[in-house]
Amino acid sequence: MGPSPEDMEYSPGDMLPRAELRGLIGHIRGRLLLLTAIFLIGLVGGYPVSGRVIEALLDSTAYKPENVEVVILHPMEAVLIRLRMGVHLGAILSVLFLVGDISWNGRKIFSEAKRVVYTGKGSLSGLIVIVLFSLLLALTGSLYSHEVLVPFLLDYLSEDAASANLSSTWQLRSWIGFIVGLYFASIVGFQVPLLTWILLRNRIINIDSMTRNKGVMWFLGMAFGAFLSPPDPISMFLVAGPVLILMEFVLILHVMTNRD
């Protein structure tokens, strides 16, 4: 006998069943125009603000070691940096919107994907709690980047160059792009545990599939950390470690609070 339709829709190794995945992709497509508008708001609003951010970074002693000289190679660098910061801000606003949207419409989205009639409504109080937690996690990610991640990695790069008797001359675009990228990774990465909690509470994914795929989850997290940081174990863990630890906390909390 061939596999049943249910078996084809869900494999024990899947963290997100195929029907639910199709429903999620379809919902995001339906929100594409709204997501684009939110992204453009962040881009347009972030461009003028980014000028002040660049000035603050140039005046900062925490982000520019004493033995480092920042240079500008061509006049367009400042414009390109401001555009990049606007893009990051637009992407962050889009992610925050998606977290709240899935929290509000999650059960409806995935009920329709499985062709089950859903007549319930999202909880306003629950949405407010999710939004507050999302903003809190975004703030926590920013503080983590400001206090730990960015200063440590910049000092690491500076000391590594000094140990090789190399002069530390950083291009303005690369320097600020590196800092902005780490902030972006922390803010967005800290939303992943909250999104996982939403999916678990709405029974879109189950704890057994998350446990079975824990090795894959850690591998992807470390690969993401290696992509954004110098390729040594300490730097990789500094980027990916907090998100993975929060993920483990979410899984433990779900097991403790789940009454089924």
CA pair distance 17, 13, nearest whole angstrom: 9
CA pair distance 258, 89, nearest whole angstrom: 35
For residues 133 and 194, is the Cβ–Cβ distance under 8 A? yes
Q: How many C-beta atoms lie closer than 10 Å to residue 117's C-beta?
A: 6
Q: Kindly list the distances between the CA atom of residue 65 and the CA atoms of 56, 70, 84, 168, in Å, as whole numbers in the listed order.
A: 15, 10, 23, 9
In order along its 260 residues, the chain shows pLDDT tens digits of: 444 444 444 444 455 556 666 767 777 888 899 999 999 999 999 888 888 888 888 777 778 777 777 777 777 888 888 898 999 999 999 999 988 888 887 677 666 655 555 555 667 777 888 899 999 999 999 999 888 888 888 887 777 766 766 667 778 888 888 888 888 888 988 988 898 888 887 777 777 777 777 777 777 777 776 676 555 677 678 878 888 888 888 888 888 887 65
For residues 79 and 23, is the Cβ–Cβ distance under 8 A? no
Return the H-helix or E-strand segment holding 69. Answer: strand 68-71
The whole-model pTM stands at 0.79
CA pair distance 120, 126, nearest whole angstrom: 14
CA pair distance 186, 139, nearest whole angstrom: 10
168, exposed or middle or buried, with CB in 10 Å at 0-12, 13-18, 19+? middle
CA pair distance 203, 49, nearest whole angstrom: 40
